[in-house]
Amino acid sequence: MTLTHLPTHVNVYSNQPFGFVSAAEGFIFLSALLCGRVFGPKLEQEGFPFIWQRLGARAGRLYAYHLFLLGIAFTVVARIAVHTKQPSLQGLLDFYLAHPIDGIVASVLLIYRPPLLDILPIYILFLLGTPFVLWAGRRWGWHIVLIPSLLLWTAAQFGLRAASYAVIVRLPHIDIPFSALGAFDLTAWQLLWIAGLWVGAGRPGLAVIPPHPKPAILCSALIAIFFLIARHTHLWDILNAPPWAALLDKWHLGPLRILNFAAVAVLFAAVQPRTVRWLGRGPALVLGQASLEVFCAHLLVCFAALALVGDGTNASFLQQLGIIVFALVFLYLVAKIFAKELGSRLPLGTPSPVSKPVRG
């Protein structure tokens, strides 16, 4: 995700390298899966008030991070954008620069979501809704959660977000452009979060698949290979045009994109016991334990890089290399600081990636 957001030529290769699957899908799904795995049992053991308190505290902490990032964006970044006329920075904050008061109020309410700052508000809202989802799944069965989620995602494919905006924008004192709502369609992406909670809390055995030939693994491999080839060959020109483009749309989480993600997820689950042996230690472990703090920190690096080289089109090789090396070192240092702090209260953070897999 960091390599994709940094203004270097590396993002051409780091953006969706496995097919029509981006880091955002993994970020949302894995976060939900781990929330379900940690707080599903806690709901049974400690009750609803406990997980509401813990997840609410986590959401509050992330909201504070988000306000801090907005403060940097609306002061330092905005000032640089105005003085340098840097298009890449002006594009990040175009609504705020035109309507600063409305921009501040709407962003605090998580309505205005500038580029790069649009996934964290969704994550916060998902966290706040998680206790109710886990409770409903345990009380009435997961079908009572999955079916409405699937129906909402289906409606999103037919323009639910735009239709809702057309109604809301008619209300008094609501004057915000559709583009300022952020790229991610909340009504579509909730399906990925709900699915992650279901796997983590309702069907933990799905997260670990024995790595020997099975129809599901073979089918997933064929699907993943097709989309991988399509992503990196001339097939992309065909799939990027109607009607296929809508089916692979990232922001509305099109059906073919979900199929691609599911196939890749099955393959990763199949090799998880092996990969955890070499990923579950060293830098990967430290970054994983403080992944949300690292995510927030990487945005600061992106702001600085955009101010330095713009979109990176004319950046020299040494400039791009310097940006990448600085970013990775800085994020590792941030992870070292927060991993130690979060280690003593793991339920608030991300479980250690070396924790034993739950088998079904």
**Structure tokens, 234:** 């001339």
Q: Does 226 map to a domain?
A: yes
pLDDT at 349: 39
pLDDT at 107: 94
Distance of CA 47 to the CA centre of its chain: 28
Please give the tally of structural domains in the chain.
Answer: 1
Q: Does 23 map to a domain?
A: yes
Tell me how crowded residue 20 is: count the other CB atoms within 10 A of its CB.
Answer: 24
Q: Does 102 map to a domain?
A: yes
Terminal alpha carbon distance of the chain:
31
**Structure tokens, 120:** 């964290």
**Residue 67 CB partners (closer than 8 Å, separation 6+):** 108
Q: Does 235 map to a domain?
A: yes
Q: Does 205 map to a domain?
A: yes
Measured CA distances, 324 to 3, 45, 148, 155, 264 (Å): 7, 44, 42, 40, 27
Measured CA distances, 316 to 8, 65, 313, 323, 357 (Å): 9, 32, 9, 11, 44
Q: Does 357 map to a domain?
A: no
SS3 for 115? coil
pLDDT at 209: 58
pLDDT at 213: 60
Please indicate, yes or no, whether the overall pTM of this predicted structure exceeds 0.85: yes
Q: Does 355 map to a domain?
A: no
Tell me how crowded residue 204 is: count the other CB atoms within 10 A of its CB.
Answer: 19
The range of the structural domain enclosing residue 311 comes to 2-348
Residue 350 in contact with residue 195, Cβ under 8 Å? no
CA atoms of 230 and 246, how far apart (whole Å): 16
CA atoms of 211 and 214, how far apart (whole Å): 8
pLDDT at 208: 59
**Conformation bin of residue 141: beta by default, left when phi > 0, alpha when psi is -120 to 50:** left
Q: Does 358 map to a domain?
A: no
pLDDT 10s digits, 195-215: 999 999 977 666 555 555 678
54: enclosing H helix or E strand: helix 48-72
Q: Mark the ranges of the chain whose per-residue pLDDT is less than 70.
A: 172-174, 204-213, 280, 340-360
Give the max Cα distance, the chain.
Answer: 60
